[in-house]
Amino acid sequence: MNFKQLEYFAAVAEEGSISGASRALHVAQPPISRQLSLLEDELGVTLFLRTNKGVALTEAGRCLYQHSRQMFQSLRTMADSVRDVEAGARGQLKLGVIYSDVQTATQLLKQYHAQYPQVELYVRMGAPGDLLDDLGRGELHVLFLRSQSGRSFGLRERVLGEDPLELVMCPETDPAPGQDAVPIQALRNVPMCLLRSDDLWNYSRDLLEECRRAGFAPSVACHCYDTPMEMQMVQAGFGVGFLPRSIVAAHPGSPVYTKPVLEFSAKSYPILVWENDPYQSGCVKRFLELAETLGGTL
Amino acid sequence: MNFKQLEYFAAVAEEGSISGASRALHVAQPPISRQLSLLEDELGVTLFLRTNKGVALTEAGRCLYQHSRQMFQSLRTMADSVRDVEAGARGQLKLGVIYSDVQTATQLLKQYHAQYPQVELYVRMGAPGDLLDDLGRGELHVLFLRSQSGRSFGLRERVLGEDPLELVMCPETDPAPGQDAVPIQALRNVPMCLLRSDDLWNYSRDLLEECRRAGFAPSVACHCYDTPMEMQMVQAGFGVGFLPRSIVAAHPGSPVYTKPVLEFSAKSYPILVWENDPYQSGCVKRFLELAETLGGTL
DNA sequence: TATTTGCTATATAAAAAAAGTATGGAGGGC
DNA sequence: GCCCTCCATACTTTTTTTATATAGCAAATA
């Protein structure tokens, strides 16, 4: 059986005669007659009662006609879906986001979803190392990470914006109350909550270096494995943190705020990271294109 | 697009290589390569990434593969359904039943349904004339009727059994209490409830004739348009009825019972009636065959 | 480094399938 | 009784599909 036979069959069923279908399909009458016979032979079933006034569906023919309608519908759906997937309008997009990038990610994804509402979004939050592992295994397509120093991952990346690194504090731990910026000497005896120093994405490495140059080593009250925990510790009054400024936007209603270090400025850069694969799926391509377009507007 | 292309495509997807599919399908490799290209051209989509180690599905290819599985499933279902309909194992069977035949009909249908559980049964009860109209319009396939005199309807029919016509009564209207049969003279002044005399299926016509021969005309207390109403009138004590004996079996718990007329015996014959159409649907054929088989066992 | 191996793509010839042409039979309508 | 329409069959032509032969390519191997 093939689609052509089904198509001929349906036309005959609708026209009520083989010659009618012949005219409708712009095909000679004998081929249709013949394909119909072949179809009947293959199914082992009589589909039409032939008379000299046309043909009439048998019960079995009616059954086949109903199924054939569904079949054609399925066929159209199939082709459309496949084209949508290729175009990136349908499919799955799996994203990894580090905590510091939640703001950036949700903003970008909102725009993406508005443009491609049919794409299924999968998002996971995690530590950069874990996310990179998943990217390598192909379980994630794109990551929202931070590049502090323009370090390369052997992957493709794109900078989405910039975000100054600042001290994070509550009123009771503010080392320089009433001032817009904190002189570095004010940190001399201030306990700090910093990301643990062996983390690749250790924002505070350069700050610690700067402190050493200023003649002191800050006291690290707590080594944090991840940003959310660092925020919690700062909020609990354990000490002063050092994080991208936008992190406080993710904590509305929190007493936490940031101030720059007076003599030292550093920035972190939100970036997208993805495998350098020329055969990315459509929706990944579209997503990366959108990120390219929106560029620094985030 | 045709099924062969989908079949080739699915085989390649499952084998992971064109040459693998070639071996699995017992078809040379170039035709598969070619049909795959044609499919891709028609869809305007890349389905596989070709390498020298085989091929890998793209996102669009995965989508097509999932759909193709459903497609093949639909195809099988379609063929099976059509064959079932032709064989009479599936479809619709629409039956008309007169009141007197309810017992016969339900017995036969029980057996039929046990054998062909997938056939949708439609049953309607009605007056013989209405049912015959519906049969003529093709809205019913087979009727359960009564033939009293072997009268022909210009349709095909088959006798399913026989059923003696007897007097129907309650204890308080019994014309011959304590006797097994009622002498015809005992009916001389008994009020009767009979089907109206112009009904084609008037069971009592011959009884009235017999009464006239016995020298009296019975008093008809009520002319009934249909059998159920006659039963109700008899049960209410209006008078004595005259109906097929099996009718009381349809009234379990009723005080009504039957007795034969001593000097007069008559029978009615439950019959099946259907259009003399050589192109009956499969389930009608099977139903009539079953009726033929079970013949007089009802 | 050269070779072998396994894969896909292309060109061409052979085979198969489908379409078209011509024609015949069958059943209503005039 | 004749004609008209419709479906089926025989036969020819065209199109499509398959098979054979071969080339390119990349990775594994000697």
- Determine which helix (DSSP H) or strand (DSSP E) holds A236, and give its type and residue range: none
Residue type, A110: K
Tell me the per-residue pLDDT of A249-270, one tens digit each, with 9 for 90 and over: 888 889 999 999 999 999 999 9
CA dihedral defined by B100, B103, B107, B113, rounded to 10 degrees? Answer: 70
Mean pLDDT of B173-199: 90
CA distance A46 to A264: 88
Nearest-neighbour CA in chain B from A51: distance (Å): 12
User: pTM for this one?
Assistant: 0.82
Query: According to the model, what pLDDT value does residue A128 have?
Result: 87
Q: Determine the distance between A2 (CA) and D11 (C1') in angstroms.
A: 25
- Determine which helix (DSSP H) or strand (DSSP E) holds B282, and give its type and residue range: helix B282-294
Query: According to the model, what pLDDT value does residue A233 have?
Result: 95
* Nearest-10 crossing angle of helices B29-43, B18-25: 120
- Indicate the average pLDDT of chain B: 92
Residue B285's φ and ψ, nearest 5 degrees, are -55, -50
Whether residue B245 contacts residue B165, with contact meaning beta carbons closer than 8 Å, is answered with yes
CA distance B19 to B260: 85
Which of A1, A44, A74 minimises the CB distance to B83? Answer: A44
- The dihedral built from the CA positions of residue A235, A236, A242 and A243, taken in this order, carries a sign that is negative
Mean pLDDT of B71-92: 96
- What is the three-class DSSP state of A206? helix
Residue B204 in this model has a pLDDT that exceeds 90: no
Query: According to the model, what pLDDT value does residue A114 have?
Result: 97
CA dihedral defined by A93, A97, A101, A105, rounded to 10 degrees? Answer: 10
Contact B1 A49 (CB under 8 A): no
pLDDT category, A197, cuts 50, 70, 90? low
Q: Which fold has domain B91-161+270-294?
A: D-Maltodextrin-Binding Protein; domain 2 (3.40.190)
Query: According to the model, what pLDDT value does residue B124 have?
Result: 97
CA distance A113 to A287: 10
Whether residue A100 contacts residue A144, with contact meaning beta carbons closer than 8 Å, is answered with no
CA distance A128 to A142: 12
- Determine which helix (DSSP H) or strand (DSSP E) holds B101, and give its type and residue range: none
Query: According to the model, what pLDDT value does residue B142 have?
Result: 97
Lookup: tokens for A232? 């919690």
Whether residue A21 contacts residue A11, with contact meaning beta carbons closer than 8 Å, is answered with yes
Nearest-neighbour CA in chain B from A81: distance (Å): 7
Q: Which of A254-258, B194-198, B199-203 shows the highest mean pLDDT?
A: A254-258
Tell me the per-residue pLDDT of B269-291, one tens digit each, with 9 for 90 and over: 999 999 888 788 999 999 999 99
Considering only residues A65 and B226, tell me which one the structure prediction assigns the higher pLDDT. A65
CA angle A236-A237-A238, nearest 5°? 100
Q: Which of A113, A109, A147 is nearest to A128 (CA)?
A: A147
- Indicate the average pLDDT of chain A: 92
b/e per residue A82-106 (b: at least 16 CB within 10 A): bbbbbbbbbbebbbbbbbbbbbbbe
CA distance A120 to A134: 18
Considering only residues B195 and B9, tell me which one the structure prediction assigns the higher pLDDT. B9
Considering only residues B252 and A65, tell me which one the structure prediction assigns the higher pLDDT. A65
Query: According to the model, what pLDDT value does residue A60 have?
Result: 95
Provide the positions of strand C that have an atom within 7 A of a protein CB. 6-12, 18-22, 25-28
Residue B152 in this model has a pLDDT that exceeds 70: no
Burial class (CB in 10 A: 0-12, 13-18, 19+), A289: exposed
Same topology for domains A3-87 and A91-161+270-294, yes or no? no
Q: Which CATH architecture has domain A3-87?
A: Orthogonal Bundle (1.10)
pLDDT category, B250, cuts 50, 70, 90? confident
pLDDT category, B147, cuts 50, 70, 90? confident
- Residue A171 makes CB contacts below 8 A (sequence gap 6+) with A177, A255
Nearest-neighbour CA in chain A from B232: distance (Å): 41
- What is the three-class DSSP state of B81? helix
Whether residue A111 contacts residue A294, with contact meaning beta carbons closer than 8 Å, is answered with yes
- Lookup: nucleotide whose C1' is closest to A4 CA: C18
Domain spans of chain A, in order of start? 3-87, 91-161+270-294, 164-266
Tell me the per-residue pLDDT of A50-107, one tens digit each, with 9 for 90 and over: 998 999 999 999 999 999 999 999 999 999 999 999 999 999 999 999 998 998 999 9
Report if CB B58 to strand C is under 7 Å. no
Q: Which of A110, A88, A109 is nearest to A280 (CA)?
A: A88
Report if CB A31 to strand D is under 7 Å. no
Query: According to the model, what pLDDT value does residue A96 have?
Result: 97
Whether residue A152 contacts residue A278, with contact meaning beta carbons closer than 8 Å, is answered with no
pLDDT category, A119, cuts 50, 70, 90? very high
Which of B59, B71, B279 minimises the CB distance to A49? Answer: B279
DSSP conformation class of B137: T
CA distance A187 to A208: 11
pLDDT category, A150, cuts 50, 70, 90? very low
Whether residue B139 contacts residue B122, with contact meaning beta carbons closer than 8 Å, is answered with no
CA distance A260 to A8: 76
**Quick one: what percent of chain B has pLDDT higher than 70?**
95
pLDDT category, A291, cuts 50, 70, 90? very high
Chain A residues 176-235 with Cβ under 7 Å of strand D are: none
Residue B200 in this model has a pLDDT that exceeds 80: no
Lookup: tokens for A63? 């059954």
CATH of A164-266, one of 3.40.50.300, 3.30.420.40, 3.40.190.10, 3.40.50.9100: 3.40.190.10
Residue B197 in this model has a pLDDT that exceeds 50: yes
Residue with tokens 């079933």: A45
Q: Which of A52, A57, A47 is nearest to A16 (CA)?
A: A57
Least confident of A145-154, A205-214, B266-275: A145-154
Query: According to the model, what pLDDT value does residue B149 have?
Result: 54
What's the alpha-carbon Rg for chain B, to the nearest Å? 33
CA distance A54 to A20: 9
**Quick one: what percent of chain B has pLDDT higher than 90?**
77
Tell me the per-residue pLDDT of A123-133, one tens digit each, with 9 for 90 and over: 999 988 899 89
pLDDT category, A212, cuts 50, 70, 90? very high
Q: Are strands B191-195 and A119-125 parallel, antiparallel or unpaired?
A: unpaired
CA angle A111-A245-A233, nearest 5°? 115
